[in-house]
Structure 1
C-alpha cells in the first residue's frame, strides 16, 4: 500500500479533528454513528462537521458503509496513516515522505526525512492485510469488529516494536535507532546495508556467524528471544574494525518474548537453527551454536520493556496473533531446497534504481509530498 500524502497539506484543523473523532469512536464501534462523530468532535457547527466528513470521504480517509442499520463511517488505513503522520509532523520528528523501499506481508517501509534533511526509515504496520483473507475464521479473538481490531493490533505491534528497540538500543545492541512512534507507525534510523538473504558470498562467514550467534546468546541473557531471527530480519553493513558488532543490524521486533515464556525454548532453538541452516546452505559453514540449557539470565530487559503498565489483555491478543503467524510459516515450509526462505516480501520494481539516488537531496524526490 502506497503512502499518498498529497492531500495532507489541504486538510484543515477541523478535518483532522473530525478524523480523530472517528478514530476515537472506533474504539467501541465498527461503524461510527454520525451523531457520535458530531458529539466527540466538539464542533458546534453541524454543517462544518458534515463538510469535513464529506472532505475526508472524498479522499478515502474514511468510508461510509452501505446497508448499515444506521448512518455512520469507518476509518480507513489511509486515514489512520494521516493521523500517525500528523502527530509525527507536529512533534517535528518527520518532515517529508519519500519513496517506498520495502513491502512486507503486513508492513510497508518508506524512506522519509526530518527537517534537517536526514534520511530516516518509516515502518508502517498493516496487520491483517494478508492473514485476514486466509485465516480470519480462526481468529475469534478479533470479535466482530474486524476493521478496527486489525488497526488496533497494528498499533500494538508498532508500540511493542518501538519499545523493544528502545531498550535494546540503550543496552548497546546492534539495532536501528528508534526515533518516534505514533499509532501503527515506527520511525527509526535508516540502515545503510542490505538484507542478509541477498548475500551471495562473504569474506569471513565464520566471523559473521559468530556475531549473530553471540547476538542470540546475549539477547537471551538479557531475558529476550527474537522469535523470527532469520536472513530477512538481519541487515548486513560493511565491516568496520572499530565497530565490528555493527556489521549486522537486527530488525523486526513485534514478536519478541521473554525467556520466561512457556514456549521460550522452542523459539530460541528455532532462531538458532535458522542461522545454522542459512550458513550451512549458503556458505557451507557449520559452527558452534548456543544451547538453551546454557542460557543464564544476567539482565531483565524483558521486564523493562513491559514495565509501563500496558494493557496485558491486549498484548495477549497480539501475542496470539504473532504465534499463529509463526506457526503458519512452519506449515507453509519456511525454507526451499537452497536454504532460502520463501519470499515474504517484494521490493518495488524501481527500488534498486532509487537506492542509487541516496546521495541526492531527499527533498528533490519529495517536492510534492512535504507535510506542512
Structure 2
C-alpha cells in the first residue's frame, strides 16, 4: 500500500470514529430534545434554522474548498478570508431584512423567535470562519485533530444546550447548542493552525478565488435550497407542530447521512485533490457497484418501512410515530445524495464541477414543482416522496455527466 493510501486510510478511520461518536451523541440528544421540548418547540427551531439556512444558501461559494485545493497560495487564502467577512456582513444584513418582513406579518411569533434567530445567525457566521480555519488543516490531511475537535465542540455545545433545556424549554436551547459548538470549533482550529489567517491580498487572487467559486456557488446554492425547501413547504401547509415532527424524523435520517457523507466531503475530497493526475478514475464508476448499491438502498428502505414506527417510538417518543411514515422515501433520498456527493467531490477535485450545476437545478425545479402538490394530497409522506424522487434524478444525471467527463 502506498504512503498516500496509508494516510488516506488513517484519516478515514479518524473521521469515521468521530462520526460514530458524534452520530450517537446527536441521535440520543435529538431524542431527548424531541421528548422534552415537544413538536411545537422543535417546529420553532426548524422555522428559525430553515430561514437562516435558506438565506445563507445564497452565500455559499465554497471558499474553504478553494483553500483546501490551493493551500500554499497565501494570497488566495487572504482573499478567502476577506470574502468570508463579506459573506458574514451580507448574512446579517439579509437576516435583518427578512426578520423585519416577518415581524410585520407575524408580529407575535416573530417577537418570540427574535432571540433564537439572532443566536442561530451568529452560529452560522462563526461556522463560516471555523470552516475557513479548518481548511488548511484539511489540506495537510490533519483529520485526526479535526475529528477530535468536532467531538469536543459537539460535546460542549450539547452540554450547554441540555443545561438550558432543563430550565427553559424553548428554541434557545437548540440555538445555543449550535452557537457554542461553532465557537469551540473555531477556537480549536485557530489554536491548531498556530497563526492567524492572512488578510493582505490582491485583485488577481480575488479573481482566481471567484473563478473557482463561480460554478461551485451555483452548486452550493441549489444544494442548500433543496435541503431546506421541504421544511418550508411542510411548515406553511401543515403548520408548526407538523414541521417539528417532520424535522425530528428527518433529523434521524440526516444524522445517518451526515455520518456517511462527512468522510466523502472531507477525507476523500482532499485525497482526490492529491491524486488528480488525469489518470485516476472514480471507484464507483462500475455497473456492478451501481447495481449492488441500489439493492442495498432499497433493502434499507424496506427495513425502515417495517421498523420505522418502533424506531421512532423508541428514539424520539410516541408523539413522532405518525411522522415515521416518511422514513422509507428519505432512506432512498439519502442513498441518492450519498452517491451524488462522491461524484461531486471527485469532479471538484478535477475542476469540472460546473457540469453538476445542471443536475442540481433539475432537482431544485422538481422539488419546487412537486413538493407542495404532494403535501396537499399525502401530507408529510408526499414531501418525502417528492424529495426522494428529485434526489434519484440528481444521482442519475450526475453519474451520466461523470461518465461523459471520464471519456474525455
Q: Same fold (TM over 0.5)?
A: no
| TM-score bracket, shorter-length normalisation | under 0.3
By percentage of residues, which structure has more helix? 2
Q: TM-score, normalised by structure 2?
A: 0.23
Q: TM-score, normalised by structure 1?
A: 0.25
Q: Larger Rg: 1 or 2? A: 1
| Larger strand fraction of residues | 1
